[in-house]
Amino acid sequence: MAVGEPRRVGYLYALPALLVYAAFLLFPLLHGGWLSLFKWDGLSLGTFTGFSNYGDMFAEEGALAAFGHVGVLILFFSVLPVCIGLVLATALHRVRIRGLPFFRTVLFLPQVIAMVVVAVAWQRIFAPDGALNFLLGTEGKAWLGDSSTALLAVGIVGTWVQTGLAMVLFLGGIGKVSADLFDAARLDGAGPAGEFRSVILPALRGEIGVALTLTVIAALRTFDLVYMMTPLGGPGGSTTVPAYEIYQRAFHTGQVGSAAAIGVVITVLAFLVTYVITRITGRERV
Amino acid sequence: MVSRAERAGTYLVLGVFAVFALYPMLSIVVTALRSEVAGRGGIHWENFGKAWAEARFGSYLFSSLVVSVSVVAITVVLSVLAAYAFGTMSFRGRDALFYLLLLGLTVPGEAVVVPLYYDLRDLGLTDTYAALILPQVAQSVAFGAFWLRTYFRSTSRSVVEAARLDGAGHWQTLWRVLVPMGRPALVTLIVLVFMWTWNEFLLARVMITGEALRTAPLGLQFFSGRSDTSVPLLAAASVLVALPVVVVYLFLQRHFIRGMVDGAVKG
């Protein structure tokens, strides 16, 4: 990082961005940490309670359930899309695909559509008179209204959104692997499984890291989808997530401190996830 | 050699996934054209007009446009300036300041929305455009500075030196030489920030209390929550909300994919 000539004027150039950033991101972040140490309803005077909001989180079912639901969502948002993406990239890489730009555009499309719109579209599909019941021959089942299937339904939407991302990443990555590597593996007598382990997996390490980071963070941040598809945390609170708990506690049940504490926890988790996945997959970011 | 069967299988698999990706979107477009009266056929374009006027989506889309254009414009200018400093100049504390800015890439917006609400309430800014614009600029400028710094570092020093020899100061070098040359990187930044801002929901849900400034996603949430909303109108409104980003995406899809993949991990 030694490039650049010495220039004081650099401060002036960086200043406007740093000011807005400090005032509207950094300060609220610290303020959130401060608020998390209080019991406060947002109106009257708060009382300082130290770390008890954090302690309560582990003792109380609501917060634990929300984090548990994120665990389930990660399966659908990350694990499933990455597995599907890897299997397909392995299966498809031998054929030079004509019309790849078209497929890439279509597969990536779910990534750019507002989550509220995605929610409306899938609500129709999961409705009692929707396409899923028609497809499965299960008449009149309300997938989003049943506490045993609501979270699953939200998860499937996550898979729909993220699978294209994984496929586009992996198809792009595998296109850069030289054909010689595959030939060499085959000469060594590697079958499809061996080829996957010795060539594809190492070559796609970086892409897998990117896909996992983006999708795990997306699962951790889920809000719009759950809020739109399953009002009030879903049937029996079966689809609550941390972001939903933050919103609900801060603005409806007068537990601002507790909401701020959950915010601090998801921030820490986001950093942890990014750091660990980057470490494992050896992806350089800066 | 690749057999014909394998070739056919490849396209079959891709086709199945393409249909899976498209079906929910196409079905909502089809629903948007259906009659509001069940059982009546025909194509009903008037649903879009009704969503626009009666359901007030014209006004919601206008709010979204004001917020998105403002966030994009401010973010781009601030990011260009900051990235120029971080990428081409050296000054004391530069790296520390840059890493501080980089933190913003990972901080989830959901985590800061609560303190942000109380901060802006103290400033009397809730239920204003500023409450939507300033926090989103703060989040996007971290990505913008990071993204453009990479570009500024990769432009050859000789370009900058040539400009200098022509007598250009640092200000002219930036706006007359580097910015015009950096168009691809700038376009990527513009489309990504536009998409993030246009699709943002939680911040609007928290900050906007009146109906006047409702953004399109927020308007859609209220509209879908009303019991008297007909399904075709809701679908038409959804299409209106999604359309601007989809149109930009269809023309500039490479920028979307490159930005989201290369600039990975935006918080």
Q: What's the CATH class of domain A52-281? A: mainly alpha
| C-alpha angle B243-B245-B251 in degrees, rounded to nearest 5 | 100
Radius of gyration of chain A (CA): 23
DSSP run (H or E) holding A115: helix A115-126
Compare all CA atoms of chain A with the CA of B149 and give the residue at the minimum distance.
A286
Residue A285 predicted with pLDDT over 50 = no
Q: Is A6 helix (H, G, I), strand (E, B) or coil?
A: strand
Instruction: Mark which residues 77-106 of B lie under 8 Å from A by CB.
Output: 77-79, 81-82, 84-91, 94-95, 97, 100-104, 106
Compare all CA atoms of chain A with the CA of B217 and give the residue at the minimum distance.
A116
CB contact under 8 A, B202 and A214: no
Compare all CA atoms of chain B with the CA of A157 and give the residue at the minimum distance.
B24
Interatomic CA distance for residues A106 and B136, integer angstroms: 28
pLDDT in tens, A53-62: 999 988 888 9
Instruction: Give me the percent of chain B exceeding a pLDDT of 90.
Output: 73
CB contact under 8 A, A16 and B82: yes
What totals of helices (H) and strands (E) does chain A contain, helices first? 16, 3
- Among A163-172, A259-268, B2-11, the range with the most confident prediction by mean pLDDT is A259-268
Instruction: Mark which residues 44-83 of A lie under 8 Å from B by CB.
Output: none
Instruction: Tell me which architecture the domain covering B58-216+244-262 has in CATH.
Output: Orthogonal Bundle (1.10)
Q: Are B84 and B152 in contact (CB under 8 A)?
A: yes
Query: What was the pLDDT predicted at A159?
Result: 97
Query: What was the pLDDT predicted at A153?
Result: 96
Looking up tokens 């801060």 gives: A250
Mean pLDDT of B166-189: 90
Task: With CA atoms as reference, report the closest residue to B243 among B74, B88, B115, B64.
Answer: B64
| C-alpha angle B173-B177-B180 in degrees, rounded to nearest 5 | 135
Instruction: Mark which residues 133-162 of A lie under 8 Å from B by CB.
Output: 160
Tokens of B164: 């200098």
CB contact under 8 A, B225 and A231: yes
Q: Are A252 and A244 in contact (CB under 8 A)?
A: no
pLDDT in tens, A20-51: 999 999 999 999 999 999 999 988 888 999 99
CB contact under 8 A, A109 and B260: no
Compare all CA atoms of chain A with the CA of B29 and give the residue at the minimum distance.
A121
pLDDT in tens, B222-242: 999 988 889 999 999 999 999
Interatomic CA distance for residues B221 and A120, integer angstroms: 9
* Interface size, chain A vs chain B, as Cβ–Cβ contacts under 8 Å: 298
Given 3-state DSSP classes, what are the helix, strand and coil percentages for chain A, each rounded to the nearest 5?
75, 0, 25
Instruction: Give me the percent of chain A exceeding a pLDDT of 70.
Output: 97
Strand-strand pairing, A47-48 and A38-39: antiparallel
Among the partner-chain residues B14, B137, B246, the one whose CB lies closest to the CB of A112 is: B246
Q: Which pLDDT band holds residue B200 (cuts at 50, 70, 90)?
A: very high
Residue A84 DSSP class: H
Interatomic CA distance for residues B228 and A168, integer angstroms: 40
Partners of A6 in the beta sheet?
B90
> H helices within chain B, ranges in order?
4-32, 46-53, 57-88, 94-103, 109-122, 129-154, 157-165, 170-172, 179-181, 183-199, 202-207, 216-225, 231-262
Residue A197 DSSP class: I
Partners of B89 in the beta sheet?
A5
Q: Are B122 and A36 in contact (CB under 8 A)?
A: no
Residue B156 DSSP class: -
CB contact under 8 A, A267 and B108: yes
- Among A55-59, A97-101, A227-231, the range with the most confident prediction by mean pLDDT is A227-231
pLDDT in tens, A137-196: 888 889 999 999 999 999 999 999 999 999 989 988 888 887 788 888 878 877 778 888
Query: What was the pLDDT predicted at A198?
Result: 85
pLDDT in tens, B47-106: 999 999 999 999 999 999 999 999 999 999 999 999 999 998 889 999 999 999 999 999
From chain A, pick out residues whose CB is under 8 angstroms from the CB of B5.
Answer: none
CB contact under 8 A, B90 and A11: no
Residue A71 predicted with pLDDT over 50 = yes
Residue B267 predicted with pLDDT over 70 = no
Query: What was the pLDDT predicted at A184?
Result: 84
Kindly indicate whether the ipTM for this predicted assembly is greater than 0.90, answering yes or no.
yes
